[in-house]
């Protein structure tokens, strides 16, 4: 199974975080005056949005060789609000903060919010859930940590998934640890365990590819929602992005995107 794992996702987020020290240095030598980003977008008619293209279901290359995913749909939504053509900028965890600081991208998607990052960039309101969660068949009644009692649970040994479920599982829960995430996923799909702990991105892929197992997300263990990352001192652009996200939440568009790509409704508290 060639499934992008939540561990890989957190690794890329960590790589991006490490890049902040370099970005902070770049900012010290940046020109004192920059053209207002919203004015520049309006003048050019183009908004450049940095996205991952190797993080299904948030971003990947589809059968037609075009980018697809949650972040692609959100990019198009933002472009519509700004009345601008969307230019997707392929980024990696290592380079995306430098791309933003160098104005190679006007904004970035799938950015986790941390106090360290808030010192360097600004954030929109959250637009997508990202969490580690417990997955299992719909027929199995599991709604919270207490319901894990007496259940068998597959995890990758030593990962954040392992740590998170180990903290809350009752003593009678049987946590089966595997050498890597794919081993845990395979064990769950083969019926060797009743439950599985992975990121909601991986869980959505499992739900889509293995309908016969009838899996669903039971409850969240660890949450780190996705935000749009923007350069500091661009309040007008940030306001427009926030307005686009808020409107999409209100009219149900964002919930439809979540249902389409994550196979789960948008959390009410997002």
Q: How many CA atoms lie within 13 A of 112 on its CB side?
A: 17
1: in domain: no
- What values do phi and psi take at 93, rounded to 5? -60, -30
Tell me the per-residue pLDDT of 71-98, one tens digit each, with 9 for 90 and over.
999 999 999 999 999 999 999 888 999 9
Contact indicator for 183, 128 with CB cutoff of 8 Å: no
Does pLDDT of 35 surpass 80?
A: no
Same domain, 36 and 11: yes
215: in domain: yes
CATH code: domain of residue 71: 3.40.190.10
- What values do phi and psi take at 69, rounded to 5? 135, 180
Same domain, 212 and 233: no
Same domain, 154 and 213: yes
- What is the β-pairing status of strands 60-61 and 67-68? antiparallel
Rounded to whole angstroms, how far apart are CA atoms 245 and 235? 15
165: in domain: yes
Rounded to whole angstroms, how far apart are CA atoms 56 and 40? 31
205: in domain: yes
Same domain, 181 and 254: no
Name the domain count of the chain: 2
Same domain, 151 and 180: yes
Same domain, 217 and 231: no
242: in domain: yes
In 10 A of CB 268, how many CB atoms? 6
Alpha-helix residue ranges (DSSP H) falling in the chain: 6-28, 37-44, 70-82, 96-101, 115-118, 160-168, 181-189, 200-209, 235-250, 253-262
Higher pLDDT: 17 or 54? It is 54
Q: What confidence score (pLDDT) does residue 29 get?
A: 38
207: in domain: yes
Q: What is the pTM of this model?
A: 0.79
70: in domain: yes
Same domain, 118 and 234: yes
Same domain, 160 and 43: no
**What are the Cα distances from residue 97, in Å, to 23, 127, 240?**
6, 19, 21
Same domain, 109 and 17: yes
Which of 11-20, 105-114, 199-208, 238-247 is the least confident region? 11-20
213: in domain: yes
Same domain, 82 and 138: no
Contact indicator for 59, 89 with CB cutoff of 8 Å: no
Contact indicator for 78, 41 with CB cutoff of 8 Å: no
The two three-digit tokens of residue 240, written as one number: 């427009």
User: For 146, which DSSP code?
Assistant: G
Q: Which domain does 123 fall in, by range?
A: 6-129+224-262
Q: Rounded mean pLDDT of the chain? A: 89
The two three-digit tokens of residue 173, written as one number: 């829960």
Same domain, 36 and 153: no
Same domain, 118 and 238: yes
The 3 state secondary structure assigned to 221-237 is EEECCEEEEEECCCHHH
- In terms of Cβ atoms closer than 10 Å to its own Cβ (0-12, 13-18, 19+), residue 157 is middle
Does pLDDT of 69 surpass 90?
A: yes
């Amino acid at each position: 199974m060639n499934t992008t794992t939540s561990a890989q996702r957190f690794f890329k987020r960590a790589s991006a975080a490490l890049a902040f020290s370099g970005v902070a240095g770049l900012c010290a030598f940046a020109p004192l005056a920059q053209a207002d980003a919203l004015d520049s977008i309006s003048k050019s008619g183009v908004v450049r949005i940095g996205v991952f293209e190797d993080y299904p279901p948030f971003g990947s290359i589809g059968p037609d060789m075009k980018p697809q995913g949650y972040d692609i749909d959100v990019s198009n939504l933002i472009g519509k609000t700004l009345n601008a053509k969307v230019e997707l900028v392929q980024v990696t965890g290592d380079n995306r903060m430098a791309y933003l600081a160098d104005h190679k991208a006007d904004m970035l998607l799938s950015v986790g919010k941390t106090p360290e990052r808030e010192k360097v960039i600004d954030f929109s309101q959250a637009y997508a859930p990202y969490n580690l969660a417990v997955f299992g068949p719909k027929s199995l009644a599991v709604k919270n940590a207490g319901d894990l009692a007496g259940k068998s649970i597959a995890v990758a040994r030593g990962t954040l998934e392992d740590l998170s479920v180990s903290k809350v599982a009752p003593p009678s829960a049987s946590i089966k640890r595997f050498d890597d995430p794919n081993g845990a996923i395979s064990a769950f799909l083969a019926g060797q365990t009743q439950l599985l702990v992975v990121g909601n991105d991986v869980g959505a892929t499992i739900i889509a590819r293995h309908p016969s197992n009838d899996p669903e997300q039971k409850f969240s263990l660890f949450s780190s929602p996705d935000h749009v990352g923007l350069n500091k001192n661009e309040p007008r652009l940030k306001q427009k992005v926030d307005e686009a996200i808020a409107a999409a939440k209100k009219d149900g568009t964002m919930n439809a995107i979540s249902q389409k790509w994550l196979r789960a409704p948008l959390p009410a508290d997002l």
